[in-house]
Structures are given as structure tokens and as C-alpha cells.
Amino acid sequence: MRSTATALIALVALLALPGGAGADPRVIGGRASTAAYPWMVSLSNGCGASLVSPTWLVTATHCGPARSARIGSLRLDSGGEVVDIGRTVDKPGTDLTMMELTRPSTARPVPFAPRDPAVGTPVRLLGWGCTTWPVCRTPTRLQEIDLTVVPTAECEEADERDVCVSGDEEHSACHGDSGGPALVRERDEWHLVGETRGAGDWDAECAGTTLYTGTHQHRSWIDAQLAT
């Protein structure tokens, strides 16, 4: 396992790639989504996000600032509801960021999962990231893929607050998916369990496990922002 400093250097390198981690992990081996995800967001900085209240988004800190959010569209470049972003709040020491919209969205927010997902839990990933790697091809239609929660030890630099998701050379998140959601099915609806933080295997980069910042472990901080 690499040191934290080495991992951060690697992340900076990924951010510099065309279409890369400011537009981090995308879905390899997934499928074009036909289902409606009213709370799915594409940010103007190239990342994904999730609408968690009428005025707040959850995304990844390493994506950087964004001017606007396109909410509820299956397409990256059209449709949905476009709302400007007012302010951004980062949680120190994490890759978790919340962005406040300048006006309430009319879309339905995604509920949070009531618990951390256990190892073996099916999880769905969404994003507009690279569908092929190392030659990156990017879709305009939202992609989805169903994978599985694996032990955090299978993701480099993970801690107990993170969610590690399975992956291999043909099935993985990739550049362009950062900040987007990991979802589990609870009571016949999707619930948010994490936001895309980065590659779980730095050697594989886009063809291995993916690391997600778990939302359940940060609920007290998230709720504090929602209350402001």
C-alpha cells in the first residue's frame, strides 16, 4: 500500500489527465441508463453529484468549484434543470463537499442509506465517465453499473468511513465519475451510501476497485449543513 503522500501525488496526476479526475472515475462495462434518477447531477466542473435536499448537493472536494448543476437529466449536455451554485462547504480532512444551490430544485432528492453497507451488498454506480480505458471514450448518456461492496482493505488509503466497491478490467468506475453516487436498494428505492472519491487500486487506475467517501459516517456533519 502506498503512503498517503504518494497517493496524493498520484491523485494530482490524475486530475491533470484530459477528462480526468476533475471529471474522475467513469463507468467501464456498464450500460446506458434508461431509468430516471431525478437527483443525479452533472456539475459544470465535469464531476457528478447527488441532490440530497432541495438546495444541497453532495460531491467530491477534489473536483474543485463549479458554477452550475444540471439536475435530473440522463444526458450530460442537455435536459433536466440547470441551477447555479451559491456556496461550497468542504469537510476538512476528507474528500466530501457540499454545494448549496442559489434556489431550490424542483427535483426529488435521494434519501441517505440508514446504515453502512455490509460486504457483499449489491451497489449501483452512476456517471458520465470514460466507458473505455486506457483510451477514454466519454458518453453523453448517463451510464450505470451494478457491482458489490468489498472489504475496505481492497481499496488503498481507505479508512472505516469509506466504502470500497468491486471492479476489474472490464467493470469499473473511471475518470469522469468523481463526486457521483454509490447507491443501494432499500425499501424498493435507491439510497445514497457514498460519493466517488477515486481509484481503489492506483496501479489499475480505472480497471479495479473504486473508493467512495461513505455518507453514513459523515451524517452529523451533512445534517449540520442541511440545517443552515
Among the listed residues 40, 57, 31, 34, the one whose alpha carbon sits nearest the alpha carbon of residue 147 = 31
Whether 29 shows a pLDDT value over 90: the answer reads no
Q: Cβ(137)–Cβ(130) under 8 Å?
A: yes
Maximum mean pLDDT: which of 127-131, 176-180, 181-185, 198-202: 181-185
Q: What is the pLDDT of residue 186?
A: 86
Query: Looking at the domain covering 40-109+218-226, what would its CATH class be?
Result: mainly beta
Residue 201: predicted pLDDT: 74
Q: Which CATH superfamily is domain 4-32+111-217 in?
A: Trypsin-like serine proteases (2.40.10.10)
The pLDDT, as a whole number, for residue 23 is: 38
Query: Does residue 134 have a cis peptide bond before it, meaning omega lies within 30 degrees of 0?
Result: yes
pLDDT at 16: 30
- Domain boundaries, given as residue ranges, for the chain: 4-32+111-217, 40-109+218-226
In this predicted structure, the answer to whether residue 91 has a pLDDT above a threshold of 60 is yes
Same fold? 4-32+111-217, 40-109+218-226: yes
Is the pLDDT higher at 21 or at 83?
83
Q: What is the mean pLDDT of residues 27-38?
A: 82
Give tens-digit pLDDT for 97-134. 999 999 999 999 999 999 999 999 999 999 998 888 88
* Separation between Cα atoms, residue 197 and residue 99, nearest integer Å: 16
Q: pTM value?
A: 0.85
Q: What is the mean pLDDT of residues 28-39?
A: 84
SS3 61: helix
pLDDT of 24 reads: 39
pLDDT score of 207? 65
Closest CA to 30 of 226, 221, 171, 142: 171
pLDDT at 12 over 70: no
